[in-house]
Amino acid sequence: MTGGIEDSEALRYDSAPERRERIMDLVREKGYYALTDLGRVFGVSEMTVRRDVAKLAEQGLVRVVHGGVSAVTDLFAPVEFRFRSHQHTAAKRAIADHALTLLRPGSVVGLDAGTTVLEVARRLPGDRNLTVVTHSLPVMGLCAHRQGLQLMGIGGVFLPQVQAFSGSLALRSLAQLRIQTLVMGAAAIRDGSIRSTNSFEAEMKQAFMAAADTTVVLADSSKFEYSTLMMVAELSQVSVLVTDDQISAAARAEVARSGVPLVVVPCGPGAREAGASGAPEDGDEPGEISRLPRTERRER
């Protein structure tokens, strides 16, 4: 593993949190890293790396193996889901960090399927006595090993493309529950509405919203550049919308017209990584989705 070690000076951080974020990135990219290699990459001792890795493992973000660390990835997820997990990662992390501030201790939290909400699951603290309700298999996997969280999984027909359960059984289960705060993703936000690419996920999102007192929608700024097939709900039905600081003026105006409170979180120049591929994200399987031509993003 010599690639990247030569760039150790560029990868050295004085801040442990920043170093741990970069460790996560490297491990996710390669799937495995030896502890000695990580020490050389960051120019720190192996003992420092072990402490970093132990902290990440406690949070369920990586898995410690003999002599190294491996990614807690969606290894059995299809390529599309894993690919989406690596798009706009800086924005998703910043959005997820803000979402955590909206969760009240002792409350029941609904976590929708999708890659941005998955970042919230990775960061859930274990000291707030939260109950997590979800139909997302990756979210279940993260929460199942976290102390201090109570997990309630919603079962049904498994949709491999989105790594989540759906169908009539799942809908009936949700209808019996009451959720204080729902954290929900979106494949697109267009014409004042939250949109999905298929009816199965649209129904699940609608059922989650019906069961929730508060709905928090997480959508990185790229979601305002797409159009998808199914409407989930009007933006006016949402309690708050959280996005990143790359959101366009036109998108801001669209949200303002809906009347929903908008939170814009800073995420730096790396928030909009190359690779906005037109692939749907946040709990929607590949389907009818298209990136709108720039000339069509005008306000109507």
pLDDT category of residue 99 using cuts at 50, 70 and 90: very high
Residue environment code for 241-267, b if the CB has 16+ CB neighbours within 10 A, otherwise e: bbbbebbeeebeebbeebebebebbeb
Q: Is residue 170 within 8 Å of 184, Cβ to Cβ?
A: no
| pLDDT for the residue 72 | 61
Answer yes or no: is pLDDT of 252 > 70.
Answer: yes
Q: Where are the domains of the chain?
A: 5-71, 79-296
What integer best gives the mean pLDDT of the chain? 80
Q: Say whether 196 sits in a helix, a strand or coil.
A: strand
For 115-131, the pLDDT digits (tens) are 899 999 989 998 999 99
For 201-222, the pLDDT digits (tens) are 899 999 999 999 999 999 999 8
Report yes or no on whether pTM surpasses 0.85.
Answer: no
For 42-95, the pLDDT digits (tens) are 888 889 989 988 888 776 677 787 778 877 644 444 434 444 444 557 888 899
Q: Which of 288, 261, 294, 279 is nearest to 84 (CA)?
A: 279
As its CATH architecture, domain 79-296 has 3-Layer(aba) Sandwich (3.40)
CA-based angle 88:197:85, to the nearest 5?
Answer: 25
pLDDT category of residue 270 using cuts at 50, 70 and 90: very low
Q: Hey, which CATH number is domain 5-71, 1.20.1250.20, 3.40.190.10, 3.30.565.10, 1.10.10.10?
A: 1.10.10.10
